[in-house]
Amino acid sequence: MPPALFDFCRLCSLRAIRLSGHYDNWDDAMAQCKGYNQNVIFEKTLASSLQVKNGLKPYERDSVLFDRIVYSWPILASLNWAAAQDSGKLRVLDFGGALGTSYFQNKKFLDHLNEVSWHIIEQPKMAELGRKYLQDNVLSFSSSIDKGFQACSPNFILLSSSLQYVREPFNVIDDLAKRNVPVIALDKTPFLKDGINTFVQKQSVPSQIYPASYPCYLFNEHEIIKKFQDHSYTLIESYHCQDNLSTKAIWKGMVFKKSS
């Protein structure tokens, strides 16, 4: 199979992830989900990430390997924009960054900068695997926001397809935004089309990726923007992403800058 067609099939596999139901809160959605075997996900993600780190494959997302890098060009532009405002230095705090998906995705375009550090906040087991198998003088891992800020002094916070999967996303925004980091970017985040209030759906992952179902927030866009504005962040730009997992929402990215 030609690599381009192979990658297209793998993208279709990711898009086979589906959202269903309508729940007012996380716990109601969780009661309808089967959960997931964390060890299976961790092991598959580690195996895929090591192939990328070792140069055997160029890109991994959600443990799925690709023969070409699928870029989020707005995020890459934002990373370089943040570095340009700090003498070519980029220090990223990547919330929910798995084992380096976004780091390896953008690495070739960041290596030219004067300084790069990339610190990922993940679940304790994922962070442990990252420290053991992938950590180096640029990439590092920890298991909480406080530990992340103890380990680095970021000028860029990235939340790529992660905010919707935490139980209390607005508390996470508060915790990150109060640290006064110059730039905060969301990527691949679902926003409701009709402006109704934030609610939760059940996300089901096809077995060819890994068998799992868990809650996923669909956000009211204005509510998210207002939350950042409350911490003196200005929306610089928003954009549409390729993800399309629900008829009720549009997956978007947003880039916020701390107001002076």
Q: How far apart are alpha carbons 133 and 130 in whole angstroms?
A: 5
**With contact defined as beta carbons under 8 Å apart, do 200 and 217 qualify?**
yes
Task: Quote the pTM value.
Answer: 0.92
Place of tokens 């920890």: 142
Alpha carbon of residue 167 to chain centroid:
15
Q: Count the alpha carbons within 13 Å of 129 in the hemisphere toward its beta carbon.
A: 20
206 pLDDT tier (thresholds 50, 70, 90)? confident
pLDDT in tens, 21-32: 999 999 999 999
Strand-pair partners of 212:
36, 205
Using one digit for the tens of pLDDT, what is the confidence trace for 113-125?
999 999 999 999 9
Say yes or no to pLDDT of 191 above 70: yes
- The pLDDT assigned to 18 comes to 86
Q: What is the pLDDT of residues 215-245, one digit of tens each?
A: 999 999 999 999 999 999 999 999 999 887 8
pLDDT level of residue 1 (50, 70, 90 thresholds) = very low
Mean pLDDT of 48-74: 96
CATH 3.40.50.2300 fits 3-258, yes or no: no
Three-class SS of the chain: CCHHHHHHHHHHHHHCCEEEEEECCHHHHHCCCCEECHHHHHHHHHHHHHHHHCCCCCEEECCEEECCCCCCHHHHHHHHHHHHCCCCEEEEEEECCCCCHHHHHHHHHHCCCCEEEEEEECCHHHHHHHHHHCCCCCEEEECCHHHHHHHCCCCEEEEECCHHHCCCHHHHHHHHHCCCCCEEEEEEEEEECCCCCCEEEEEEECCCCCCEEEEEEEECHHHHHHHHHCCCEEEEEEEECCCCCCCCEEEEEEEEEECC
Q: Where are the domains of the chain?
A: 3-258
- Supply the pLDDT for residue 15: 52
Tokens coding 242: 């390729």
